[in-house]
Structure 1
Amino acid sequence: MESGQPPPAAMPQPLPCTEVRIPVPELGPWREGNTGLPGVWSFAAAAPGPHLAVVALTHGNEIAGAHLLLRWLRAGLRPVRGRLSLVFANLDAFARFDPADPTASRFLDEDMNRLWSVEQLERAVARPSSELRRARALRPVFDAADVVLDLHSMLWPSDPLILSGTTDRAARLALAIGLPPLVVADEGHAGGRRLIDYPRFADPRAKAIALLLEAGPHWEPETVETAAAAAGRLLGLLGLARPEPAEAGAAAPARPRLARVTRAVTAASAGFAFLREFRGGEVIARRNTLIALDGEEEIRTPHDDCLLVMPSPRPMRGHTAVRLARFVDAPPPARPGEPGHGP
């Protein structure tokens, strides 16, 4: 910004939609689990195969995934091979979910999806954190899983997507699921490691895979159905369930695309503001387009055809405001024995 010139005007930031259009899930008897860990269910088939863990309620107010897990439990879903584990993660935060104030129960003490470093999980920590205790309790489940699907939803308007972390094997599996068709490879947040960044999933030499599904807006019926469709496809890809036949006359699915994050923008000031309303999934055609101001710093697109990944119009200082990504070619085909390569 040249000296003496007024800064561009930032847009007033909109309020998110907080209407809850799905019922609050009734965990009831399903809260206890069958593994000795509350909220964790696990079922093994006689035939060998991979172990898939599907996780809901990593954030206590993101209830769409819990509806899917309850649907499967009530239907008596069992794997035809391998093992299927269903995890209701942050039970304590979910217990405080109130449709009149649905954003307040994301967590109790700290974000459970920023705790997945070995240092955080193993060192002696004096702070009284409900989420850290629960992450430590759940760690053996994820240490035993070959594939993890972490179900989330979104507060601000955005197209659904799958976050695959940094490994090619995760990107391949996400592209094979194909729903939603947008796959984003990224390195996470400055504030801490997500479950998909846990070392046994993020190590390029390892075999285990974790994916994070952002299935759509919080508290919407279509978000539950997107989660169900994506998770159902994953069950089929891994051979844990028989693939469902395509419906006659159904439209061909969109070709999945992979984008790699080139910059994660973290708000450095309380004055971060976008210049207009942006929707997640929007593509800015020209490099160097000004999209936001962070105090005196201009935030510009670093390349042509820049994908905006989950912009947050009201980020707190130190939190991710938006990720900027470039579309790239799919990674090489999966190796034999890699999850998703085939039964």
Structure 2
Amino acid sequence: MQPAVATLPTLEVRVPVPELGAWRAGNTGIEGVWTFAAPEPGPHLMLTALVHGNEVTGALLLLRWLREGIRPRRGALTFCFANLAAFDRFDPADPAASRFLDEDLNRVWATELLAGGRRSAELDRARALLPALRRADVLLDLHSMLWPSDALMIAGPGAASRDLGRALGTPPVVVADEGHAAGLRVIDHAHFAGGARALLLEAGPHWQPETLAQMERTAAALLRRLGLAEEGAALPPAETLPPGRLARVTRTVTAQSADFAFLRAFRGGEVIPRRNTLIALDGEAELRTPHDDCLLVMPSPRAMRGHTAVRLARFEA
């Protein structure tokens, strides 16, 4: 069987480009970071957008909540516009081009890397954001996707993050994984291995209204779950949802050659019923499903060598 030739999805920007204006400054001494604290003690929730400069939908949600005065009933609430320098280059005519400047901001969060002497636009920004990150008890990192996939949540380290993601029920799948070979994500930072909880929401396709709606449903559910939502706040209606299903990654597939290719166009969230099903070729090496009912987590048909091509996961009871 011959590999499939992957064609890029239609890159249509169907949401407005965020206008940060005066909201760019922040109120914490860190550009793009706003924190609001209530008199009553409680957890500190941090919402991050623009970790990738072209994923603008999360920034639209943060701007809406800032303008509408969404503030915590107790505890504290932080809004963070992360990679501002990459976002400044966002062009709806070429919307995939401004993911980062020098390197992926979501691969630089290893403690030794942040403490080292290497410089890049993204490393400098991560170091600037660290004080805000370390104050958070809970993180929700807002992302969208290029390749077709159902929405999903990725949990940070520890059972507490997984349990929180499942309790929200939206999206209905929570993935537990070991991260990427190329570097640590924000949710993988050591702060979230020591009691704080972290979730990464992959809300749907880039630049689409339905992705913004999913982000708002999830963030509102989290505010309510933590007891931070004020009475009468301009949030989506509360939903009664069953707990999300937990899928644990059994294998993270990193492309070993420049010729990695799936045998057909797979969608993220697709479940392959039978183990040992051939799904991709990496040069001459075969990639087969390691178990029955194998969940494909965000397959990337154009994975570069050394980058994650797909994660294979098994649902847990």
Q: What's the TM-score once normalised by structure 2's chain length?
A: 0.96
Task: Report deviation, 1:253.
Answer: 3.8
- SS where residue 259 of structure 2 aligns? coil
| Correspondent of 2:201 among 213, 232, 236 | 213
- Asked if structure 1 preserves the Cα contact closer than 8 Å seen for 2:149 and 2:298, the reply is yes
Task: Report deviation, 1:16.
Answer: 2.1
Instruction: Please list, as runs of the form range in 1=range in 2, the aligned pairs for 1:189-228 lying within 5 A after superposition.
Output: 189-201=180-192, 203=193, 206-228=194-216
- SS where residue 141 of structure 2 aligns? strand
- Asked if structure 2 preserves the Cα contact closer than 8 Å seen for 1:17 and 1:155, the reply is no
The residue aligned with 1:117 is 110
The residue aligned with 1:173 is 164
Larger Rg: 1
Task: Report deviation, 1:76.
Answer: 1.0
Structure 1 gaps of 5+ residues are 1-7, 330-343
Using the aligned pairs only, state the percent identity.
65
- Asked if structure 2 preserves the Cα contact closer than 8 Å seen for 1:60 and 1:107, the reply is yes
- SS where residue 15 of structure 1 aligns? coil
The residue aligned with 1:315 is 303
The residue type paired with residue 262 of structure 1 is T
Task: Report deviation, 1:256.
Answer: 1.5
The residue aligned with 1:32 is 25
| Correspondent of 2:125 among 134, 144, 157 | 134
After TM superposition, which residue ranges in structure 1, 4 or more long, deviate above 4 angstroms? Answer: 242-248
The residue aligned with 1:163 is 154
Instruction: Please list, as runs of the form range in 1=range in 2, the aligned pairs for 1:235-274 lying within 5 A after superposition.
Output: 235-242=223-230, 253=241, 255-274=243-262
2:29 matches 1:42: no
The residue aligned with 1:107 is 100
Task: Report deviation, 1:11.
Answer: 1.1
**Distance in 2 (alpha carbons) for counterparts of 1:109 and 1:53:** 25
- SS where residue 120 of structure 1 aligns? helix
Task: Report deviation, 1:254.
Answer: 5.5
The residue aligned with 1:282 is 270
Larger mean CA deviation between 11-20 and 152-161 belongs to: 11-20
**Distance in 1 (alpha carbons) for counterparts of 2:130 and 2:164:** 23
**Distance in 2 (alpha carbons) for counterparts of 1:120 and 1:243:** 43
- Asked if structure 2 preserves the Cα contact closer than 8 Å seen for 1:159 and 1:281, the reply is yes
Provide the alpha-carbon RMSD of the alignment. Answer: 1.6
What is the count of residue pairs matched by the alignment?
A: 315
**Distance in 2 (alpha carbons) for counterparts of 1:57 and 1:92:** 10
- Asked if structure 2 preserves the Cα contact closer than 8 Å seen for 1:51 and 1:145, the reply is yes
Q: Write the deviation string for residues 263-298 of structure 1: whole angstroms up to 9, x where unpaired.
A: 000011111000001000000000000000000000
Task: Report deviation, 1:17.
Answer: 2.2
The residue aligned with 2:55 is 62
| Correspondent of 1:325 among 293, 308, 313 | 313
| Correspondent of 1:17 among 2, 10, 15 | 10
The residue aligned with 2:218 is 230
Structure 2 gaps of 5+ residues are none
Task: Report deviation, 1:167.
Answer: 1.3
- SS where residue 96 of structure 2 aligns? coil
**Distance in 2 (alpha carbons) for counterparts of 1:119 and 1:165:** 19
